[in-house]
Amino acid sequence: MRIYYSDNISFCRLLAVPVSPVVKRIAVFGYNYNQCKSVSRGDVAMSNKMLVSEIKENDKVESYFLVKDKNIAMAKNGKPYINIKLIDKSGEIEGRVWDNAEEISTHFEKNDIVTVKGRASLYQGKIQLSIIDVRKAPEGTASADDFLPRSAKEPDEMLSELKGIISGIKEPYLKKLMDSFMNDKQFAELLKTAPAAKGMHHVYIGGLLEHTLSVARLVTELSKQYAGVNKDLLLAGSILHDMGKTKELSYKAAFDYTDEGRLLGHIIIGIQMLDEKIRGIEGFPEKTAMLLRHMIASHHGELEFGSPKRPKTLEALLLHNIEDMDAKVNAYQAAITKDTNEETGWTSYQKMFERYLYKGE
């Protein structure tokens, strides 16, 4: 059976030869055999994609994934093996290549789109792949963007709501500051795209904006609860606290840290971004600038968690606790959703929480 492939697959040409099972699947996805049209090789490949979230124990797996991480280790018997983390839009799965590890390792690198052949098994409560072969997929199979998880919420709608919240700021200098960020098209695009973290919470495209909006909503409500809170200052700090992550993280392929992110971190980067905008606003009060810097510097709460300073103002204390709560709730929900063990009402051990989490009945 011959199927002719080029950069695009012409249905007129395909229909001139016997139809393969792959082509039959195309019809299921809504293509009309009565029309002559083209489908990229990537469309055919991705239409047959097995999602990470669909993989069950004992499944035979042969599909495309993005390599998030790869390293070669040594087994107890002295033989090398490959430890690999694979991702797609639906989640992440670990795999091991036990045989021919050194040879197979030459076929792919981190951030490659690869074809994986193997079988799924349950190990310590988690689905894992025992991999027979890994190969870099042909050029044009798909783009890395096809494999990155995304927020379930529409980024333009989230940004619009965030701008609406900002419009309620009454202090003129803080309003100018926030508008200078929101009117910066490059910053706005990065904010809509960036994940909130590499592996802790809101770990998906648009995650930073989702987290920022959620914290801003909570701040708007909780600032009414306590006397003496400077609502405008707290709101500005809540929106700015993680903005350094737009430059700390890279997210064109598997999420990772930029050089700037590794060398400085998002807290220092965020303070630098804040100071740059403040320099463009004539007469911006230095005390207000100092309080905003403190909120960014202290929002992790403790020195051991990466904050160079602990919260020393009411607004900084509230910001730390609100953003920490939002991050942990998101991480908890993700852990429950992604846990694949259906035999118990508990998740596997969660390193972030240092405990098992109860999923319920």
Residue where the block lists tokens 């990155």? 148
* pLDDT at 198 (0 to 100): 87
Q: State the Cα–Cα distance between residues 264 and 302, nearest whole angstrom.
A: 18
Q: Where in the chain is the domain with CATH 1.10.3210?
A: 149-336
Looking at residues 192-206, what average pLDDT do you find?
92
Q: Where in the chain is the domain with CATH 2.40.50.140?
A: 52-146
Q: What is the pLDDT of residues 223-270, one digit of tens each?
A: 999 999 999 999 999 999 999 999 999 988 888 899 999 999 999 999
Q: What is the DSSP letter of 138?
A: P
Residue 6 pLDDT exceeds 50 = no
Banded pLDDT at 318 (limits 50, 70, 90): very high
Q: Are 228 and 328 in contact (CB under 8 A)?
A: no
Measure the N-to-C terminal CA separation of the chain; round to a whole number of Å. Answer: 51
* pLDDT at 305 (0 to 100): 84
Among 23-27, 144-148, 306-310, whose mean pLDDT is lowest? 23-27
Locate 198 and state its tokens. 């590499």
CATH architecture observed for domain 52-146:
Beta Barrel (2.40)
Residue where the block lists tokens 């293509």? 31
* pLDDT at 4 (0 to 100): 30
Residue where the block lists tokens 């098994």? 121
Q: What is the pLDDT of residues 287-296, one digit of tens each?
A: 999 999 999 9
CATH class given for the domain over 149-336: mainly alpha
Report DSSP letters for 251-280, one per residue.
-SSS-EE-HHHHHT-HHHHHHHHHHHHHHT
* pLDDT at 80 (0 to 100): 93
Q: Are 89 and 143 in contact (CB under 8 A)?
A: no
Residue where the block lists tokens 């202290």? 298
* pLDDT at 143 (0 to 100): 81
- List phi, psi (to 5°) of 326: -65, -40
